[in-house]
């Protein structure tokens, strides 16, 4: 299992600080493919660079595209994240159960995160085959974007780690 084929896709990120934090945690956990869909901030602003620290290379190599379908080109699997239950034909899964699917068969896969202020819309969720919801306090289940990415990247890194395979 390898992380090289996993894309982290941020749809319309609004905060350069979050984008930089995502780049940093991706670097921490061994992921390198950051895709930004129609960012509503400057992902290379000084704030983003300050938060990226040693993840500057992830930040600088981030792909920027206008639409989610563009970001998903070449991906054979996609999981979308959401904190809200929706009227969907499938269940919400915790990261530990759903994310191994992205690492199967060494194919290009994506993990999609929505905008900070609203999360992914139902239309955006339709581009994924599975859905992840990070278990949290039901009184306040919405995590900060960078924190949600960190939880998922950690789980992916543990799955891909040779020491976790024993």
The tally of domains found in the chain comes to: 1
- State in Å, rounded, how far the first CA of the chain is from the last one: 13
pLDDT digits (tens, 9 = 90+) for 104-114: 999 999 999 99
Q: Is residue 128 within 8 Å of 78, Cβ to Cβ?
A: yes
pLDDT digits (tens, 9 = 90+) for 13-42: 999 999 999 999 999 999 999 999 999 999
Domain membership of residue 82 as a residue range: 6-165
Q: Is residue 131 within 8 Å of 94, Cβ to Cβ?
A: no
pLDDT at position 166 is 45
pLDDT digits (tens, 9 = 90+) for 116-154: 999 999 999 999 999 999 999 988 888 999 999 999 999
Answer yes or no: is 1 within a domain.
no
For the chain, list the strands marked E by DSSP. 6-11, 33-37, 63-65, 77-81, 92-93, 109-113, 130-132
- Spatial neighbors of 10 by CB under 8 A, at least 6 apart, are 19, 22, 34, 35, 36, 37, 39, 113, 145, 149
- Spatial neighbors of 105 by CB under 8 A, at least 6 apart, are none
pLDDT digits (tens, 9 = 90+) for 152-165: 999 999 999 866 55
pLDDT higher than 90, residue 2: no
Q: Mean pLDDT, to the nearest integer, of 5-15? A: 97
* CB count in 10 Å sphere of residue 49: 18
pLDDT at position 164 is 55
Q: Is residue 54 within 8 Å of 86, Cβ to Cβ?
A: no
Answer yes or no: is 78 within a domain.
yes
Q: Mean pLDDT, to the nearest integer, of 81-88? A: 72
Read off the CATH number of the domain in which 140 is found: 3.40.1280.10
């Amino acid at each position: 299992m390898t992380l090289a084929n996993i894309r982290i896709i941020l749809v319309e990120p609004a905060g350069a600080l979050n984008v930089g934090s995502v780049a940093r945690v991706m670097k921490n956990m061994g992921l390198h493919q950051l895709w930004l869909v129609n960012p509503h901030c400057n992902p290379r602003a000084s704030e983003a660079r300050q938060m990226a620290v040693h993840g500057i290379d992830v930040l600088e190599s981030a792909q920027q595209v206008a639409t989610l379908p563009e970001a998903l080109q070449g991906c054979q699997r996609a999981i979308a994240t959401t904190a809200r239950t929706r009227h969907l034909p499938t269940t919400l899964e915790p990261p530990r159960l759903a994310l191994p699917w992205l690492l199967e068969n060494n194919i290009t896969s994506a993990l999609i995160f929505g905008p900070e202020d609203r999360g992914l819309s139902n239309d955006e969720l339709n581009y994924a085959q599975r859905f992840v919801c990070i278990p949290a306090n039901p009184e306040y289940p919405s995590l900060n974007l960078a924190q949600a990415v960190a939880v998922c990247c950690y789980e992916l890194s543990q799955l891909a780690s040779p020491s976790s395979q024993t």
